[in-house]
Chains A and B, each alone.
Chain A
Amino acid sequence: RKEVEQDPGPFNVPEGATVAFNCTYSNSASQSFFWYRQDCRKEPKLLMSVYSSGNEDGRFTAQLNRASQYISLLIRDSKLSDSATYLCVVTLDSNYQLIWGAGTKLIIKP
């Protein structure tokens, strides 16, 4: 089993719709969780952190379910500019131990 698993997609979603995808992780000792966004042929950029209590940033909501070992990302009122690959990142307790998912590709259609 991969340490961090994501559905590769693509998720094809009409503009204005709500879309959600999950990321599962295998190590119960995982400490921190993040969502990164990566545009085609560009570097990853931090989208948001995922806190135990869940957090929201505008149209984006991230949640953590420790019992089932997954995090989720919900995008409301999707825009064409939301088209990208969304990478899940999980950290263990050491400084550099970042485990990256392979990403979920999202395509927003007009």
Chain B
Amino acid sequence: NAGVTQTPKFRILKIGQSMTLQCTQDMNHNYMYWYRQDPGMGLKLIYYSVGAGITDKGEVPNGYNVSRSTTEDFPLRLELAAPSQTSVYFCASSATSAGANVLTFGAGSRLTVL
């Protein structure tokens, strides 16, 4: 049972480069989320999706884009990487919108922008 799988685990980008963080879940969850976690800070919601074809902005969406073409996949796109996007990114999913008690997280993707 894989749960939520994120790739890559680590990546170093140069300023201005683009990349996509991949997230796949095999639990048939409708809700998926992307968070970033900066040192000494709480998790911040970037984007979320309540089902295939439906996405919406979270607290810190600037500089990112997402798509949800299937229930399983929720990729996060960084178009023009900036040093401020250096962070650890977590993808999560949940079957319902009941709140934090049903979130399943991926192992995280550590991104450094130089």
Residues of A with Cβ closer than 8 Å to B?
4, 8, 31-32, 34, 36, 41-46, 49, 87, 89, 91, 95-96, 98-103
Q: Which residues of B contact A99 (CB under 8 A)?
A: 42
Q: Is the interface of A mostly helix, strand, loop or mixed?
A: strand
Q: What would be 11 A-B contacts, judged by CB atoms less than 8 Å apart?
A: A31-B99, A32-B100, A43-B90, A44-B105, A46-B101, A87-B43, A89-B100, A91-B100, A95-B31, A96-B33, A96-B58
CB of B107 within 8 A of CB of A43, answer: yes
Measured between beta carbons, the chain B residues less than 8 angstroms from A45 are 105
B103 within 8 A of A: yes
Q: Contact between B43 and A100 (Cβ–Cβ < 8 Å)?
A: yes
Cβ contact within 8 Å between B45 and A98: yes
CB of A95 within 8 A of CB of B50, answer yes
Residue tally, chain B, CB below 8 Å to A: 22
Provide the bound-state CA to CA distance between A91 and B90, in Å.
Answer: 18
Given contacts A95-B50, A96-B48, A96-B58, contact A44 B99 (CB under 8 A): no
Chain B residues numbered 23-82 whose CB sits less than 8 Å from any CB in chain A: 31, 33, 40-45, 48, 50, 58
Known contacts: A34-B100, A36-B100. The answer to whether A42 contacts B108 by CB under 8 A is yes
**A43 and B43 contacting across the interface, CB-CB below 8 Å:** no
* Chain B, residue nearest A8 (CB): B40
A91 to B106, CA, bound (A): 21
Q: Does B97 contact A (CB under 8 A)?
A: yes
Inter-chain pairs besides A41-B110, A45-B105, 5 sampled, C-beta below 8 Å: A8-B40, A42-B107, A89-B100, A98-B100, A102-B41
For residue A95, which residue of chain B has the nearest CB? B97
Contact among A32, A44, A89 with B90 in the assembled complex (CB-CB below 8 Å): A44
Q: In the complex, how many angstroms separate the beta carbon of A110 from the nearest chain B beta carbon?
A: 27
Separation in Å of the A107 CB from the closest CB of chain B? 16
Query: Are the C-beta atoms of B99 and A32 separated by less than 8 Å?
Result: yes
Q: Which 6 A-B pairs have the closest CB atoms?
A: A100-B42, A95-B97, A43-B105, A100-B43, A89-B100, A91-B99
Complex CA–CA separation, A49 to B40 (angstroms): 23
| Contact B97 A96, beta carbon cutoff 8 Å | yes
